[in-house]
Amino acid sequence: MTKAEWRRGAVQEGIALVAVLWIVAALSVAVTGIVYAIRAETRTMSAARGLIEAQVSGEAAIMLALQELTSPQAGPRQPWRTLQVSYGGRVIPVEFNALNGFVDINRAAPELLTVLLATAGGQDVQAAAKLAQSIVIERQKPDALGRAQGFEDASELMRVPGVDYNLYARLRALVTADVQGSGKVNPRAAPLEVLTMLAEGNVARAQSMVSARRQSGGAGIDVTALRAEFIDSGIGSRYRVQALVPMADGSQGVVQLHVDVSPDMRAGLPWRIFNAETWMLASSPKGI
C-alpha cells in the first residue's frame, strides 16, 4: 500500500468514525427526548387521573351532604354549615355557605364594591371607587331586549376595563354572580376572605368571627363591628358547596358546586346544580 492510499484510507476511516459518533449523538438526543416525553405524558396522565378521582369523590361527598341538609330532619336552613362525610375510605369535609355570604357583582352597591376592590384587590381607594363605577356601568349595559345584561359568571368581571386576570384572581373567592338577593352580604354565611373584606382588612377580627362560628356550630357571630349598610341577615336557597378531598400524595382536590336546595319541580329533583368547578391544591390548607 502506497502512502497516498494509506492516507485516503485513514481519512475515510476518520469520516466513518465521525459519522458513527454523529449517529450515536443523534440517537442519544432522540432517546432522551422520548424518555422526557414519556415522563411528561405520565405526569400529565397521573394529574388527570388524580383530578378525576378528586372530582368523583368530592361530588359523591357533596351529594351525601346535600341529602342530609335537605332531609326533613335537618331543621331550618343555616347560612353556614360544615359536615364531615365518609366516602371511599376518606373523611371529606364539606362546607355550605349561603351564596349571599359573598359579594354579588350584579347587585352590590358601588360603596361595597369599592371596599372589595380596595381591601381584596389591593387598590387605593380612589382607583377602587372608579373601578367600582365601571363595574356598575358594565352590568347595566342593555341587552337586545333593553334589559340590563348583568354578569352570568364571576369571571365576566374581566369584561370590565381595568379588571385583568391578576385582579380577578384576587377577587374570585369573594364574589358571585348567582345570588339573586339584596346585594348585601350575610356575614354568618361568609368565608374568611369575605369577612376580612367586611372588616376592612382586619384579619384578626375576621378570624375571631370564624372561630366563634365554628364553636357555636354556625349559630351566630357578633357582627356589630361591621358596617351595617353592607349587612344582610337573609339566607335564601342558594349555596356554595365545597368539598376538600385528601389525596394519597398529600395534595387536595377541591370540588365546588353552586346549588339551589329548593326542589326542582320540572326535573323532579330535590335540588338544582348550576355551577361546578374542580381543581387541585398542591398543599393542604389549614381547614375549612
Does residue 284 register a pLDDT over 50? Answer: no
Q: Is residue 259 part of a domain?
A: yes
pLDDT band at 21 (very low <50, low <70, confident <90, very high): low
Q: Is residue 223 part of a domain?
A: yes
Considering only CA atoms, give the Rg of the chain: 28
Whose CA is closest to 174, among 232, 80, 226, 104?
Answer: 104
Task: Let me know whether 191 and 260 are in one domain.
Answer: yes
Q: Is residue 15 part of a domain?
A: no
Q: Is residue 28 part of a domain?
A: no
* Structure-block grid coordinates of residue 207: 378570624
Task: Let me know whether 137 and 280 are in one domain.
Answer: no
Final residue of a structural domain among 114, 149, 172: 172
Final residue of a structural domain among 125, 146, 172: 172
What SS3 class is residue 16?
helix
196-218 pLDDT, tens digit each:
999 989 999 999 999 988 888 76
Contact 165, 189 (CB under 8 A): no
Lowest-pLDDT range, 71-80, 152-161, 232-241? 71-80
Instruction: Specify the length of the chain in residues.
Output: 288
Q: Is residue 186 part of a domain?
A: yes
**Cα 90 versus chain centre, distance:** 22
Final residue of a structural domain among 142, 157, 172: 172
Higher pLDDT, residue 160 or 6: 160
84-114 pLDDT, tens digit each:
999 989 999 999 999 999 999 999 999 999 9
Task: Let me know whether 129 and 115 are in one domain.
Answer: yes
Q: Where are the beta strands (DSSP E) in the chain?
A: 80-87, 90-98, 103-104, 175-176, 238-246, 252-260, 272-281
Task: Let me know whether 68 and 207 are in one domain.
Answer: yes
Task: Let me know whether 200 and 280 are in one domain.
Answer: yes
Alpha-carbon distance of 128 to 243, in angstroms, equals 33
Does residue 238 register a pLDDT over 70? Answer: yes
Q: Is 251 exposed, middle or buried (0-12, 13-18, 19+ CB in 10 A)?
A: middle
- 252-260 and 238-246 strand pairing: antiparallel
Q: Is residue 2 part of a domain?
A: no
Task: Let me know whether 87 and 219 are in one domain.
Answer: yes
Q: Is residue 206 part of a domain?
A: yes
- 103-104 and 175-176 strand pairing: parallel
Spatial neighbors of 224 by CB under 8 A, at least 6 apart, are none
Name the residue with cell 373601578: 131
Alpha-carbon distance of 117 to 127, in angstroms, equals 9
Q: What is the pLDDT of residue 36?
A: 57
Task: Let me know whether 57 and 155 are in one domain.
Answer: no
Task: Let me know whether 286 and 193 are in one domain.
Answer: yes
Q: Which of 20-24, 46-50, 80-84 has the highest mean pLDDT?
A: 80-84
Q: Is residue 97 part of a domain?
A: yes
Name the residue with cell 332531609: 71
Can you list the alpha helix ranges (DSSP code H) found in 70-178? 110-119, 125-139, 165-171
Task: Let me know whether 58 and 126 are in one domain.
Answer: no
Task: Give how many domains the chain has, as a whole number.
Answer: 2
Other CB atoms within 10 Å distance of the CB of residue 242:
20
Task: Let me know whether 154 and 198 are in one domain.
Answer: no
- Can you give the residue range of the structural domain that contains 122? 103-172
Task: Let me know whether 96 and 121 are in one domain.
Answer: no
Task: Let me know whether 183 and 226 are in one domain.
Answer: yes
